[in-house]
Amino acid sequence: MKRENLLIGILLIVFYAAVFFATETGLIPPYYQVNLYLMGINIIAAVSLNLIVGFTGQLALGHAGFMAVGAYISVILTMKLGQPFLLAVLAGAAAAFLVGILIGLPTLRLKGDYLAIATLGFGEIIRRLLDNIDYVGGAAGINGIPKLTNWTWLYIFTLLTIFIIKNFVNSTHGRACISVRDNEIAAETMGINTTYYKVLAFSIGAFFVGIAGALYAHYFFLIQPATFSFMKSFDALVMVVFGGLGSITGSVIAAVAVTFMNAALINFGTLRMVIYALLLVIIMVFRPQGLMGTKELTFKRLFGGKERGGSANVNDKTSD
């Protein structure tokens, strides 16, 4: 395991250095650089939403609202208050986390379609509030945001998001969230505070998508309330379902694939959305569980090594 972790670390460092060199020297054209940054932001949004929808089983449609909170709070701190970028990103994420708790407490007692409608409504409330706050530009939004998001910050925050959520899922708290998803009544019977874990997963997901919002705002110069509409939440949900509910690596692959698909179809104009939707329908028909289902793409599975545990150990014990 130590050798595998070392190899993974080396591969991650090599990938970072290669992309950094390519972007600094212009080997990657500006258009593809934009899509590269969008991939990173989409990965953070998809993985954080998967914690709520895939691992905890709560159909939330207000993810873009928390992204807006992270974006606006971070921009206020950097542009209006002159604070450093790292502090602004963390403050935006913390604000999204608190809003996630405030929204999660009343709504996560609901289930199914009722929860989806309630979270969608709260996401729209956040957007409409921003429309009517002159301090942040109202409907016109904020323009001239400094471009502080670079490849280093994006890479660090993307890796941290994946690493922290992966370890959370593998912890006792993550197992409790999965039990809520699988059978909430049975989880309550076993003494698990289901409301607490639903709110916990909801607020952690909000925290990380708040980071995505801050990175987005400080790369694209302009943010408006319309930027964080329902369609932004829907895009993240498509990535989660496409990759597989309950698979972190599935969300990463889906975020990359969907971003690449949008970029590849950009020359088709309005027909692009028709082709995009048709491809998604085909995938859902032939692969309804998503690309990865609930499985993870591990180092051994990727390079054909032997998996520890499982049936191999059972056979060994039987032969002994």
Q: What is the pLDDT of residues 17-46, one digit of tens each?
A: 999 999 988 888 888 899 999 999 999 999
Domain-embedded: residue 175: yes
- Would you state the pLDDT for residue 318? 39
- For residue 296, being part of any structural domain is answered with no
pLDDT for the residue 277: 76
Q: Which residue has the tokens 């028909």?
A: 285
CA angle 142, 145, 148 (to 5 degrees): 150
> Mean per-residue pLDDT for 70-94?
94
Q: Is residue 123 part of a domain?
A: yes
| Cβ atoms within 10 Å, residue 122 | 22
Whether 302 shows a pLDDT value over 70: the answer reads: no
Is residue 140 included in any domain, yes or no? yes
Q: Summarize pLDDT for 141-200 with one digit per residue, the tens.
A: 899 899 999 999 999 999 999 999 999 999 999 999 999 998 888 988 888 898 899 999
Query: How many separate domains does the chain show?
Result: 1
Residue 298 in domain: no
Percent of the chain with pLDDT over 70: 92
**Structural domain harbouring 41:** 26-228
- 210 bridge partner residues: none
Residue 299 confidence class, pLDDT cut points 50, 70, 90 = low
The DSSP 8-state label assigned to residue 122 in this structure reads H
Domain assignment present for residue 85? The answer is: yes
d(CA 51, CA 97): 14
pTM of the model: 0.89
Please check whether residue 43 lies inside any domain of the structure: yes
Pairwise CA distance, residues 285 & 319, whole Å: 43
Residue 309 CB coordination number (10 Å): 7
Question: Would residue 304 count as lying in a domain?
Answer: no
Amino acid at 182: D
Mean pLDDT of the chain: 86
